[in-house]
C-alpha cells in the first residue's frame, strides 16, 4: 500500500472522524469541517441540563490525526476530483469521502464554528432552562423523549409537555414494547404527552429562550409555557455538490450509495452517515458505514477487493435521564430496560471512546 494517495474527508461528525482516523496511516488525509471542534452530540442534551458536561463533549479536530491535517472551512463546490472551500482553497483528492451529515435544531446539535461559542451557547441555554417552570417540546422522537427525561430528572420542578402530530411516540421500525415501556416511564416522570395534534403556530419566543408564551394546538388545547425546544427536523447537508455528484442526490437531499458506500456511478467517491440513502440517520450506523468506506479506500489503493456494508436489524437506546430509558438490541428477543440502557448509554453517554479517539484532547472522563 502506498502512503501518498490524497484523501479528502468532508465533514467531521461521527462518520467523518471515524473515516479520517482509520485512513490516517494509509494515505495523506485532509479532514475538512466548518467547525474547529467535534461536538459529541449523543451527550449534548445531558450538557444542557448538567453544564459540567460541556467541556467533556467538545474535542478539537487538531488533536485527532497523527499524520493527516485538519482544515477549518466549508465546502462550496464539490465534484469528482475537486473540492473548493469558502476560503478559495481548492483540493484535488484521489479519493473523496462525503460525510457532511445533517443539520438539526439546537441543543441536540450545535452549529457554532468556534469551540468557545459552542460552550457559551450550551451554558446560556442551561441558564435559561434553570429559570423555566414549563418546557414545551415539539416532537416525540428519540430527541424529544430523551430531552423530556433529562429535564424531569435534573429539574423535577419543571413541568414538561411533548406535542407531536403522530398518534404514537418513537416513529420507526421498533418493537412496540419499547414504546410502551418508554410511555410508562414518561408517565412516572410526570411528562405530559399530547399526540395526534400540532401547534397552530410556533411560540413567539426564540427556541431555548426563557420567556412566557401561550400556544394553541389544532385540537383546541391551550398550552402556557415559558421555554420551548424543536425536537425534529433532520436536513441532509448536500447542497454544495455540483456536476456528476449533484446528479446522485435524491429528491430528499440524500445521496444514492452502493453497498460499498460509494456514490452511485463513482469509483473513488464515498458517502457515509446521514447524507447516504441506505439507512435512517444514527451515530452508530454512520460510524460503521465510515469504517467500511475507509476499508474500501484502502482496498482501492492496494488493488484489493472491496467489501460491502451490511445493515443491521433495528436498534435504539433512548435514555430518560441517567438511570431510566428503554431500547432494543439488534435481533434480541427482549427489550432493554432502564438498567441496561443506563449501563450502555445513560450514565456515561458514550463519552470515553471519543476521549481515546482524540488522544491528547483537553477532555476529562465522563462523570459516573
CA nearest to 355, candidates 345, 367, 346, 365: 365
pLDDT score, position 283: 75
DSSP percent split of the chain into helix, strand, coil, nearest 5: 30, 25, 45
For residues 24-45, give the mean pLDDT.
Answer: 97
Which residues is 255 bridged to in the sheet? 249, 276
Q: What angle is formed at CA 82 by the lines to CA 95 and CA 301, rounded to 5 degrees? A: 15
Query: Which pLDDT does position 312 carry in this prediction?
Result: 87
Task: For residue range 205-229, list pLDDT tens digits in order.
Answer: 999 999 999 999 999 999 999 999 9
Query: What local confidence, expressed as pLDDT, does residue 364 receive?
Result: 38
What contacts 219, CB < 8 A, 6 or more positions away? 194, 196, 197
Tens of pLDDT, residue by residue over 136-176, are 999 999 999 999 999 999 999 999 999 999 999 999 999 99
pLDDT grade, residue 1 (50/70/90)? Answer: very low
Going 324 to 325 to 331 to 333, the CA torsion angle's sign is positive
H or E element at residue 79: strand 75-79
Q: Residue 366: its pLDDT value, please?
A: 44
Q: What is the mean pLDDT of residues 12-30?
A: 97
Q: What are the domain boundaries of the chain? A: 6-34+73-104+234-302, 115-233+314-357
Round to whole Å and give the CA distance between 56 and 362: 8
Mean pLDDT, residues 93-122: 97
**Cell (9 digits) for 212:** 412566557
Single pTM value for the model: 0.94
Per cent of the chain over pLDDT 70 is 96
What is the per-residue pLDDT for 256?
97
**Distance separating alpha carbons of residues 179 and 318, to the nearest angstrom:** 10
Q: How much of the chain, in percent, has pLDDT values that exceed 90?
A: 92
How confident is the model over 244-254, as a mean pLDDT? 97
In the predicted structure, residue 348 carries a pLDDT above the cut 60: yes
| Per-residue pLDDT at 278 | 84
Query: How confident is the model at residue 331, as a pLDDT?
Result: 82
Instruction: Fold for 115-233+314-357, please state it.
Output: FAD/NAD(P)-binding domain (3.50.50)
| pLDDT 10s digits, 174-209 | 999 999 999 999 999 999 999 999 999 999 999 999
**For 6-34+73-104+234-302, which CATH class?**
alpha beta
Q: What is the mean pLDDT of residues 297-312?
A: 96
Edge-to-edge strand list for the sheet holding 28-33:
69-72, 28-33, 6-10, 95-98, 269-271
246 SS3 class: helix
Q: Do domains 6-34+73-104+234-302 and 115-233+314-357 have the same CATH topology?
A: yes
> Which among 274, 293, 288, 273 is positioned nearest to 330, based on CA atoms?
288
Q: Which stretch of 77-81, 97-101, 362-366 has the lowest confidence by average pLDDT? A: 362-366
Q: CA 187 to CA 204: how far, in whole Å?
A: 28
CB-based contacts of 350: which residues, under 8 Å, 6+ apart? 40, 42, 43
Rounded distance between C-alpha atoms, residue 198 and residue 165, angstroms: 5
Q: Does residue 280 carry a pLDDT above 80? A: no
Q: Cell 472522563 belongs to which residue? A: 365
* Paired residues of 161 in beta bridges: 136, 192
pLDDT at 3: 52
Amino acid at each position: 500500500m502506498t502512503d501518498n494517495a490524497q484523501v479528502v474527508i468532508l465533514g467531521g461528525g461521527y462518520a467523518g472522524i471515524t473515516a479520517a482516523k482509520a485512513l490516517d496511516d494509509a494515505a495523506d488525509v485532509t479532514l475538512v469541517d466548518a467547525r474547529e471542534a467535534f461536538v459529541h452530540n449523543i451527550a449534548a442534551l445531558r450538557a444542557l441540563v448538567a453544564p459540567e458536561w460541556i467541556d467533556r463533549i467538545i474535542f478539537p479536530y487538531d488533536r485527532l490525526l497523527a499524520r493527516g491535517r485538519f482544515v477549518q472551512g466549508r465546502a462550496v463546490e464539490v465534484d469528482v476530483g475537486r473540492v473548493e472551500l469558502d476560503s478559495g482553497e481548492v483540493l484535488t483528492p484521489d479519493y473523496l469521502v462525503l460525510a457532511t451529515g445533517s443539520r438539526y435544531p439546537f441543543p441536540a446539535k450545535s452549529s457554532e464554528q468556534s469551540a468557545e461559542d459552542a460552550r457559551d451557547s450550551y451554558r446560556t441555554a442551561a441558564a435559561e432552562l434553570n429559570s423555566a417552570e414549563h418546557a414545551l417540546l415539539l416532537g416525540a422522537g428519540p430527541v424529544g423523549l430523551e430531552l423530556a427525561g433529562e429535564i424531569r430528572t435534573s429539574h423535577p420542578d419543571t413541568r414538561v409537555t411533548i406535542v407531536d402530530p403522530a398518534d404514537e411516540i418513537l416513529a420507526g421500525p421498533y418493537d412496540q414494547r419499547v414504546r410502551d415501556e418508554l410511555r410508562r416511564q414518561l408517565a412516572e416522570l410526570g411528562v405530559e404527552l399530547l399526540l395526534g395534534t400540532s401547534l397552530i403556530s410556533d411560540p413567539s419566543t426564540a427556541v431555548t429562550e426563557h420567556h412566557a408564551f401561550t400556544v394553541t394546538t389544532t385540537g383546541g388545547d391551550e398550552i402556557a409555557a415559558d421555554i420551548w425546544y424543536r425536537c425534529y427536523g433532520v436536513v441532509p447537508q448536500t447542497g454544495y455538490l455540483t456536476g456528476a455528484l449533484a446528479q446522485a442526490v435524491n429528491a430528499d437531499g440524500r445521496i444514492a450509495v452502493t453497498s460499498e458506500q460509494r456514490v452511485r456511478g463513482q469509483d473513488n467517491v464515498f458517502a457515509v452517515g446521514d447524507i447516504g440513502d441506505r439507512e435512517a440517520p444514527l451515530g452508530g450506523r454512520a460510524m460503521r458505514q465510515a469504517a467500511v468506506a475507509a476499508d474500501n479506500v484502502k482496498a482501492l489503493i492496494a488493488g484489493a477487493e472491496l467489501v460491502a456494508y451490511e445493515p443491521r436489524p433495528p436498534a435504539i437506546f433512548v435514555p430518560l435521564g441517567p438511570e431510566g430509558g428503554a431500547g432494543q438490541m439488534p435481533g434480541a428477543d427482549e427489550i432493554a430496560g432502564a438498567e441496561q440502557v443506563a449501563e450502555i448509554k445513560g450514565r456515561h453517554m458514550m463519552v470515553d471512546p471519543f476521549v481515546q479517539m482524540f488522544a491528547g484532547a483537553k477532555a476529562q472522563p465522563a462523570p459516573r
